[in-house]
């Protein structure tokens, strides 16, 4: 059965992004440190059009982020640093002409915008009427495949609070950020029925898989 799921890297003290996101620091200050394990993998190298990269456990988990995903949902902050009205409309994401999603992406926003069709099968659709509408559209687009909630932190929190996440994978990096966006702030998942199905680790990162019991 298709699932709604997310996968996020976070620090050992629970932050999924550093403070002060900007055009120069899209992951926030020091946020890149949370993803060094993924940047080292063959999967990430291939996404960047490069040869090489590490294989093994971390590469297997990195390759899983988009497996069986038929549609993606993200918040506006993840799409880009533009705030308020879309301005001249030239901003089309952080990822260049061929974003890595290769499926329909539904961007939560308060400001309407026409869809943006990119190379490789990614089309950004802009949803102004909330997470339930975005999820309904994403499920329709995904068919019998999963819907991925890509982030950022606030968007994932909204889906957790609404009880709409079936499964999530946390990649815990051995890093202490101290400040930024903490995933489980104001989100109580203690009674939501999630259980840890698997923990595997490398020297660079620990991978936790949680699913919700029926």
SS3 sequence of 159-194: HHHCCCCCEEEEEEECCCCCCCEECCCCCCCCCCCE
In the chain, where the domains are located: 4-86+95-212
pTM above 0.85, yes or no: yes
Instruction: Check residue 30 and give its pLDDT.
Output: 96
CA pair distance 125, 114, nearest whole angstrom: 7
CA pair distance 85, 133, nearest whole angstrom: 21
CA distances from 122 to 44, 95, 139, 185 (A): 18, 11, 16, 31
Nearest to 17 by CA among 136, 173, 143: 173
Residue with tokens 């995933």: 183
In the chain, what is the straight-line distance between the N-terminal and C-terminal CA atoms, in Å?
12
Cβ(173)–Cβ(10) under 8 Å? yes
CATH class of 4-86+95-212: alpha beta
pLDDT band at 213 (very low <50, low <70, confident <90, very high): confident
Rounded percentage of the chain residues whose pLDDT exceeds 90? 86
214: pLDDT strictly greater than 90: no
23: pLDDT strictly greater than 90: no
Instruction: Check residue 203 and give its pLDDT.
Output: 95
Q: Which residue has the higher pLDDT, 24 or 158?
A: 158
pLDDT band at 82 (very low <50, low <70, confident <90, very high): confident
């Amino acid at each position: 059965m298709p699932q709604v799921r997310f996968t996020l890297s976070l620090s050992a003290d629970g932050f999924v992004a550093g403070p002060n996101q900007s055009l120069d620091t899209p992951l926030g200050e020091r946020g890149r440190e949370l993803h060094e394990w993924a940047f080292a993998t063959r999967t990430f190298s291939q996404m960047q059009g490069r040869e090489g990269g590490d294989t093994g456990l971390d590469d297997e988990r990195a390759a899983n982020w988009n497996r069986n995903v038929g549609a993606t949902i993200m918040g506006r902050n993840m799409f880009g640093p533009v705030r308020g009205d879309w301005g001249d409309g030239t901003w089309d994401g952080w990822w260049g002409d061929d974003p890595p999603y290769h499926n329909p992406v539904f961007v939560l926003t308060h400001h309407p915008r026409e869809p943006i069709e990119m190379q490789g099968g990614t089309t950004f659709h802009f949803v102004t009427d909330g997470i339930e509408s975005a999820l309904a559209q994403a499920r329709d687009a995904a068919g019998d495949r999963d819907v991925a909630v890509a982030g950022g932190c606030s968007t994932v929190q909204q889906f957790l609070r609404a009880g709409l996440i079936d499964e999530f994978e946390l990649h815990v990096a051995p890093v202490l950020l101290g400040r930024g966006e903490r995933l489980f702030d104001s989100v109580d998942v203690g009674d939501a029925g999630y259980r840890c199905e698997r923990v595997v680790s490398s020297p660079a990162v620990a991978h936790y898989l949680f699913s919700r019991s029926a």
